[in-house]
């Protein structure tokens, strides 16, 4: 029987790990958005760049004879996840979302959005904030009086930055000791983070808890209704094997 032809929507460590497990037995194309210069590339066939919305993705799936889609994008990449669900539903294609488990730390202040996080920071009077919500997450803090240590993979648009900040360009994974030192040396009183889940960026939460740094956490966007999800690479490999 012919091996299924799969589109793997990626940009995460899990997607790279899944590609490594499936390649070369499965005919696989990994897709990256192309946001990061010099991205970590998965093994096997890779395409880079958007599809042009749900309709563009549907056409691409059809034109390329794709049999199934695995969406292993970041939990906050809600647009591509919604587009994949729509396109797969329209073509009746098997579709899996690999959604890494969310963090469930105690004592964090949960909010729904970047702007809600900015309002909370203002209301609580936090003055030295470690902001780790990524390049698209800084704009909500543009009008803030606080000082920010902003960590991102690529530089945010300068107009989307708060007036008082230091920019730290880096890419995880991060270790507990480094995170603790970073927050202590910058006298951080609040950490603002998305609930990304996973081990690669988790140590900041442990360091914040130990230092008594308040944590403001942006909750995940909901997944499209009815999608099949798995929590890890092993389960995704099993799902592909069952196609
Ligand atoms: P998004 O808001 O859901 O997507 C915006 C647009 O980018 C999509 O409509 C699509 O363009 C394109 N796109 C996104 N992921 C793509 C992929 N894997 N392959 C091809 N096109 C893709 O996504 P985002 O939050 O900007 O994230 C972009 C990428 O970075 C994702 O692949 C994600 O896995 C990775 N990432 C995101 C975060 C995060 O915090 N959001 C963190 C780490 C990694 P078209 O409509 O033109 O198809």
Q: Please tell me the distance from the alpha carbon of residue 153 to that of residue 169, in angstroms, as a whole number.
A: 5
Query: How many C-beta atoms lie closer than 10 Å to residue 46's C-beta?
Result: 16
pLDDT tens, the chain, 243 aa long:
678 999 999 999 999 999 999 999 999 999 999 988 889 999 999 999 999 999 999 999 999 999 999 999 999 999 999 999 999 999 999 999 999 999 998 999 999 999 999 999 999 999 999 999 999 999 999 999 999 999 999 999 999 999 999 999 999 999 999 999 999 999 999 999 999 999 999 999 999 999 999 999 999 999 999 999 999 999 999 999 999
Q: Tell the residue nearest (CA) to atom 40 of ligand 1.
A: 76
Helices of type H across 13-130: 13-22, 53-63, 78-91, 114-124
* Any atom of ligand 1 within 6 Å of the Cβ of 223: no
pLDDT, residue 3, reads 81
Mutation to probe ligand 1, out of 15, 33, 64, 172 (largest number of atoms < 8 A from CB): 33
Q: Please tell me the distance from the alpha carbon of residue 74 to that of residue 43, in angstroms, as a whole number.
A: 19
The span from the first CA to the last CA of the chain, in angstroms, equals 11
Q: Please tell me the distance from the alpha carbon of residue 189 to that of residue 155, in angstroms, as a whole number.
A: 23
Q: Which atom of ligand 1 is nearest to the CA of 80?
A: 3
3 state SS of 127: coil
pTM: 0.96
pLDDT, residue 57, reads 98
Q: Work out the angle at residue 5's Cα, subtended by the Cα atoms of residues 100 and 80, and round it to the nearest 5 degrees.
A: 45
Q: Please tell me the distance from the alpha carbon of residue 196 to that of residue 220, in angstroms, as a whole number.
A: 8
Residue whose structure tokens are 């900015």: 118
Q: Please tell me the distance from the alpha carbon of residue 241 to that of residue 110, in angstroms, as a whole number.
A: 38
The phi and psi torsions of 95 (rounded to 5 degrees) equal: -145, 130
């Amino acid at each position: 029987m012919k091996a299924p032809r799969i589109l793997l929507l990626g940009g995460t460590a899990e997607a790279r790990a899944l590609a490594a497990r499936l390649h070369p037995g499965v005919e696989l194309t990994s897709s990256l958005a192309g946001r990061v210069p010099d991205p970590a590339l998965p093994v096997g066939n890779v395409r880079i760049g958007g599809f042009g919305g749900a309709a563009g993705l549907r056409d691409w799936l059809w034109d390329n004879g794709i049999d199934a889609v695995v969406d292993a994008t970041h939990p906050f990449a809600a647009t591509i996840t919604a587009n994949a669900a729509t396109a797969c539903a329209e073509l009746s294609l098997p579709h899996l979302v690999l959604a890494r488990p969310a963090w469930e730390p105690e004592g964090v202040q949960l909010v729904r959005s970047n702007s809600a996080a900015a309002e909370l920071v203002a209301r609580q009077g936090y003055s030295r904030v470690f902001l780790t919500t990524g390049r698209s997450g800084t704009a909500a803090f543009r009008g803030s009086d606080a000082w920010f240590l902003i960590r991102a993979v690529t530089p945010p648009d300068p107009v989307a930055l708060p007036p008082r900040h230091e920019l730290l360009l880096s890419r995880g994974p991060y270790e507990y000791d480094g995170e603790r030192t970073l927050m202590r040396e910058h006298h951080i009183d609040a950490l603002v983070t998305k609930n990304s889940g996973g081990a690669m960026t988790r140590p900041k939460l442990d360091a914040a808890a130990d230092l008594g740094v308040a944590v403001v956490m942006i909750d995940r966007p909901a997944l499209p209704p009815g999608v099949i999800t798995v929590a890890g690479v092993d389960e995704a490999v099993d799902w592909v094997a069952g196609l």
